[in-house]
Amino acid sequence: MSRSTPRVGPLAGHGHAPPALDVDGLLDDPATRIIVCCGSGGVGKTTTSAALALRAAERGRKVVVLTIDPARRLAQSMGIEVLDNVPRPVPGSGTAAGGSLDAMMLDMKRTFDEVVENQATPEKAKQILENPFYIALSSSFAGTQEYMAMEKLGQLHKDAQRTGRWDLVVVDTPPSRSALDFLDAPERLSSFLDGRFIRLLLAPAKGPARLMTAGLGVVTGALNRILGTHVLRDMQTFVAAFDTLFGGFRQRAQHTFELLQAPGTAFLVVAAPEPDALREAAYFVERLSEERMPLAGLVVNRASVDPSAGLSAEQAVAAAERLDAAGEDRPSSEVASGLLRLLAERQRVVARETRLRQRFATAHPEVPTAVVPALSTDVHDLDGLRRIGVLLGG
């Protein structure tokens, strides 16, 4: 924490103090090639990703940040009116240190289309892209966004290695109700596309397969009644056209998973100082450990600032009660009493957040932690992102 940063309720003296997360050391290390920010929705993950990317660029790294559906004000804060599937330079982010910053927003369907176009012949790609079942799958199938985020990460990493345009990729993962869905999505989607039912749709009606297709006829008859004949026909047409791409999906999914486990990747778990968010963060930490993913640390966003300068909540309430008991019906006394009670309430919030962070640190003492105080205003420009970066780096 920098000298100018207000206190945010440190854990010292209240149990186990976690090691400090050296964010600047992580950003400056040339061995760090990928930073993945993960966490539940609404904890400031996208803002954290953008602030990290800007700070790294202004410290000399060549950075591309991949955001997932950022708030419009965040796109505007980066000086880009429209974020899309193409990395674009962020105006005003270049420095004398030689760094650069590009930003992009994941376009789920466009990324899926690119995979098809790159892996299939033009004729086969056209057939797939125009298929109604493919259009539904690429636009709204559960897990598609998570899978395509990993596809885009793989593409960016490959481009960075080939062109040297970037030496750091920062990824803002999709907000998922189920933590770390993006780790499971590649296997889940490829398993669906390569599943037994999909294969049965392609099974030839001869030899041993005749018995299988006879049984399948009962199932497809039921599906025809529920979904309609055209839906099942579209599905069969899609699977027949997509059959040659199955292996490529599974191979890239495995490659991306190995990339996430590689030493050059660093995961940052982002949370808010709230019970649900820190419980999710604990799950993230445990799951990353199980999958042997390189965890860099925890970022606790929007921590309440301790305004008391040593005055406890109890002392503030006692002082307010003394003013009330004095019976001085003066506006200044009423204001002072109200401010003291407000101070006491803030102190209780700080104490509660401190206990929550201390509980997490006790359960996960090895996880380095950075605590970012809550700002009084929303981030709406590069200066706001820089301020977040300073708090992270401090």
User: Cα separation of 385 and 372, whole Å?
Assistant: 12
Alpha carbon of 296 to those of 37, 196, 213, 282: distances in Å?
A: 10, 39, 51, 14
Alpha-helical segments (H) within 170-274? 181-193, 196-202, 209-227, 229-242, 246-261
**Residues 6 or more apart whose Cβ sits within 8 Å of residue 178:** none
C-alpha torsion angle, residues 344, 279, 374, 61 (rounded to 10): 160
CATH for 23-310+347-393, among 3.40.50.1000, 3.40.50.300, 1.10.490.10, 3.40.190.10? 3.40.50.300
User: Cα separation of 32 and 390, whole Å?
Assistant: 19
Which tokens is 103 given? Answer: 């930003």
User: Cα separation of 30 and 164, whole Å?
Assistant: 13
C-alpha torsion angle, residues 38, 188, 159, 245 (rounded to 10): -170
Which residues in the chain show pLDDT less than 70?
1-16, 69-74, 81, 94-95, 141-143, 175-180, 185-187, 189-232, 242-247, 307-314, 316-321, 323-332, 334, 338
Query: What pLDDT, on a 0 to 100 scale, did the predictor assign at position 209?
Result: 41
Contact 293, 180 (CB under 8 A): no
> Residue 196's CB: how many other CB atoms inside 10 A?
9
Query: What pLDDT, on a 0 to 100 scale, did the predictor assign at position 157?
Result: 94
Phi-psi region of 292 (alpha: psi -120 to 50; beta: other; left: phi over 0): left
Query: What pLDDT, on a 0 to 100 scale, did the predictor assign at position 351?
Result: 86
Query: What pLDDT, on a 0 to 100 scale, did the predictor assign at position 366?
Result: 94
**Residues 6 or more apart whose Cβ sits within 8 Å of residue 41:** 175, 176, 177
